[in-house]
């Protein structure tokens, strides 16, 4: 009987150690860069792809370039793929929902390893688990050979096939 009590205490120690270890890992979890004071309030636009069945895409305009949806993250939630927060989406003209001008949770980031800013990342700061951010690609890169960061998986839109 003594053996069972010692074994139970041993398992309790193992369990306590595991909980402590997981709490340390969680505390060190990397976060996306914060929203800056001078954040840009992006208004979504629309791009019609006349070459491919008049498909409609939401757009973001940044530094004189138009960005269109391109892909998603290749594996999992990786905040290190977001370099700098540049702003947030205040309105989506394609949405039937009511717009809240105070909501700054749909954030736009430049992408790590992309010095030419050919890609932007959209991330919803309210979603904590199992979120797959959207990557936008500069429309002026269509048909060009550019370096695509390894963590971006194309969604296969016909627009980007040409």
**Confidence band for 8, pLDDT divided at 50, 70 and 90:** low
pLDDT at 25: 38
- The predicted model gives 15-32 an average pLDDT of 46
Residue 11: pLDDT above 80? no
Is the pTM higher than 0.85? The answer reads no
- DSSP class of residue 97? S
CA distance 58 to 63: 17
Give the pair of three-digit tokens for residue 61.
């305009």
Residue written as token pair 């971006």: 152
Q: Quick check: helix, strand or coil at residue 106?
A: strand
pLDDT at 6: 47
Question: 65-73 and 134-138: which strand pairing?
Answer: antiparallel
The per-residue pLDDT of the chain, averaged, comes to 78
Query: CB atoms < 10 A from the CB of 137, how many?
Result: 23
Residue written as token pair 């690609």: 137
pLDDT, tens digit, 9 for 90 and up, residues 70-129:
999 887 657 788 899 999 998 655 555 556 667 888 899 999 889 999 999 998 888 766
Residue written as token pair 């797959």: 132
Any idea which of 1-5, 112-116, 132-136 has the lowest mean pLDDT? Answer: 1-5
pLDDT at 18: 46
pLDDT, tens digit, 9 for 90 and up, residues 54-70:
888 989 999 999 999 99
CA distance 102 to 104: 6
pLDDT at 162: 66
């Amino acid at each position: 009987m003594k053996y069972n009590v010692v074994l139970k205490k041993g398992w309790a120690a193992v369990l306590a150690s595991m909980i402590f270890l997981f709490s340390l890992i969680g505390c060190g979890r990397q976060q996306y860069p914060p929203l800056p004071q001078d954040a840009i309030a992006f208004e979504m636009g629309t791009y019609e792809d006349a070459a491919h069945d008049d498909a409609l895409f939401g757009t973001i305009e940044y530094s004189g370039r138009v960005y269109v949806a391109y892909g998603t993250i290749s594996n999992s939630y990786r905040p290190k793929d977001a370099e700098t927060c540049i702003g947030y989406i205040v309105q989506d003209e394609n949405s039937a929902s009511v717009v809240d001008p105070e909501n700054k949770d749909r954030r736009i980031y430049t992408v790590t390893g992309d010095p030419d800013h050919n890609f932007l990342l959209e991330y919803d700061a309210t979603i904590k688990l199992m979120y797959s951010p959207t990557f936008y690609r500069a429309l002026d890169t269509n048909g060009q050979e550019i370096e695509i960061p390894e963590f971006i998986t194309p969604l296969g839109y016909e627009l980007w096939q040409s």
